[in-house]
Structures are given as structure tokens and as C-alpha cells.
Amino acid sequence: MKMLRSLVLLAGVLAISACSGFDKLDEVKAINDANAVGNAFTQKLTEEYRNYVNNELKTYNDHADALHFSRKGLSAARGDMVMPEPISDWNINPGHAEELIVARSRLVNVMALGSRETQPDLSAFAQARFDCWIEEQEENFQGESISACKSQFLDALAQLEASIPAAPAPAPTPVAEPFDVDPNEPMLVENAKYIVFFDYNQSSLNSGANSILDAAAEEAKGRQLVSINLVGHTDTSGSRAYNQKLSMKRANVVRDAMVQRGVDGSLLSVNHRGEEELLVDTADDVREPANRRTEITFQ
């Protein structure tokens, strides 16, 4: 798997490597010399990957992963929006994969809600710690390193989820109206979003998706809603016509799952976008896990 990851490069890094005659550690030197551009998130992410690369080399002499994360760091240094590691790219046993799928879904979700902009340093730290966790989990022999990366990620993720801003509340009135939103709710209904992710070319629900659906259904049943909007999406791999059909299947699967969890089916509105509204912009025919999804929003 490490050799495969070392060969899967972003286009810009491929171009640099091809033109400059890099040997296997030139990217490590490049990330250490890089002056990051872009926004606050990508600059901090560059720093996080730089630190991780140097630790992998100094502590473990792990050239393969140092090379892989150097390339991610160089992409971040150019200002590219680099995503957390896809679980499918790593050789993780099923029990740990389920936990990582849920964790990645939560991280991508909170970033989609704006944490990169509102909490750039913490978001970059969380992503780097997630990537550290999945790398250590694949090796699966350094228990302390796995625990450290995992706990640091979960702490950062909890802070990010708690920091998602709700819309400003109206000025308080002496007497609450009967249908005022509970002030203890984490966010206003129009800001709530759940994202169910799918495996490549699949419309079936994995354990991570089911965990997201459990939470979405529980919140839906606890609110007074006008409608629940389900919109299916795909990545750009495959034809547009095929992806339209696949995205509709993904939306309908989520609809059925919400009904099975006790959500009123008359509230559910189903739509699909195929590959037209990507969460992560990619070229055509690119497999991007973050784009294979159904989004759940409330009204």
C-alpha cells in the first residue's frame, strides 16, 4: 500500500518531480524549504505535514511515508486544498476501518461547515493528526503512537465541532414563544447538515454511514421540521449519465434508512446532482471519497 500511495501524486507534484529529476528524498528537502502560500489553513497544514515528515524520518526512518506526506505538504504549500487520507488507500483491518470512516466523515463534515475558515490552525492540526492516526494504525505495532495521534485528533475534532457558529440569536424577549428553538441546541436548524459517505461505485451503507444516519435521524425526530432534504452526489469517476443514476440511488438509500429509523417519510425530499456539485474540486475521472456522498439538511 505504501508503494501505491507513493505513486499516486497530485498533478502539480508529478510535474515538479518529472522536470526536476528528484530522487526519493528531494520532496522531503523541498517541504523543509517551502514557503507556504494560500490561506491560513493551507499554510498551517504545510507546517503540520513538515513536522510529521521530519518525525517519521528521525524517529522511525520511514522513508515511504515521509515521501507521501512530503508530497501532501508541498501541495498544501502551493495553496491546494488537500483532504484527509482516504481510508480505502490504507491496509486497515475492518474493526479499525469502521472507526476511521466515522472519524473522517465527522472531520470532512465540520470542514464543510467552515472550520477551515473559522479555525484554520485547529483544523490543520486535526487533519494532520488524523493522517498520523491512519498511518500508525496501518502499521499497527506502535500502540503508544496510535493512541497519541488518535487522542490528539479526537480532542481537536471535539473542539472544532463545538466551535461551529450558530446564526446570531434574536434579542431576548420577556416571554418565550411556544415554538422558540431550544437554546441548548448546538446549531439552528438551517445550519444543521449531515453527510453520509459511500464507498467507490457503491450505493450501500457501510458502518460509518449508519452511524451518521443514526445521529441525523435522532436529531430530525427531536425537531419540528418542515422538510428534510436529501441530495445524492458522486465523484467524477465514470460517465455523467451513470453518475446521475448512482447519485439518485444514494439519495434513495438514505431516504429508506431514515424511514427505517422512524423519520416521517412525508418530510423527506429526494434529489440528486451526479458529479455536478463536488465537495472537493477534482479533474474528470478522479476517485475522491469526499465527493461520494448524500447530504442531509433540514428546514
pLDDT digits (tens, 9 = 90+) for 191-231: 678 889 898 899 999 877 888 898 889 888 988 899 999 99
Residue 143: per-residue pLDDT: 85
- Closest of 47, 30, 133 to residue 82, by C-alpha: 47
Residue 271: per-residue pLDDT: 96
C-alpha to C-alpha distance for 185 and 254, rounded to whole angstroms: 24
DSSP for residue 86: P
Check whether 160 has a pLDDT greater than 90: yes
**Strands of 193-197's sheet in order across:** 193-197, 293-298, 228-232, 268-272
Q: 6, 67 in Cβ contact below 8 A?
A: yes
- Closest of 27, 112, 109 to residue 76, by C-alpha: 27
Q: 163, 155 in Cβ contact below 8 A?
A: no
**Percent of the chain having pLDDT more than 90?**
52
Residue 191: per-residue pLDDT: 63
DSSP for residue 82: P
Query: Mean pLDDT lowest for which of 146-150, 236-240, 281-285?
Result: 281-285
Residue 17: per-residue pLDDT: 39
pTM above 0.75, yes or no: no
Tallying the residues shown for the chain, one arrives at 299
C-alpha cell at 271: 434529489
Confidence of residue 179 (pLDDT cuts 50, 70, 90): very low
pLDDT digits (tens, 9 = 90+) for 51-90: 999 999 998 888 889 999 999 999 999 999 899 999 888 9
Check whether 12 has a pLDDT greater than 50: no
Dihedral sign from CA coordinates of 218, 97, 202, 86: positive
C-alpha cell at 235: 465523484
Q: Which stretch, 18-32, 166-180, 269-283, has highest mean pLDDT?
A: 269-283
- Give the contacts of 64 (CB within 8 A, at least 6 positions apart): 2, 3, 5, 6
User: What single string gives the DSSP state of each residue in 130-161?
Assistant: HHHHHHHHHH---HHHHHHHHHHHHHHHHHHH
pLDDT digits (tens, 9 = 90+) for 18-54: 444 334 568 889 999 999 998 999 999 999 999 999 9
- Residue 299's SS3 state is coil
Residue 188: per-residue pLDDT: 63
Q: 170 or 137: which carries more pLDDT confidence?
A: 137
Strands (E), the chain: 193-197, 228-232, 268-272, 293-298
Domains of the chain (ranges, CATH numbers): 2-163 (no CATH), 189-298 (3.30.1330.60)
CA angle 165, 104, 92 (to 5 degrees): 165
**Percent of the chain having pLDDT more than 70?**
83
DSSP for residue 285: T
Query: What does the buried/exposed string (b/e) look like for 253-283 if buried means 16 or more CB atoms within 10 Å of the residue's CB?
Result: bbbebbeeeebeeebbeeebbbbeebbbebe
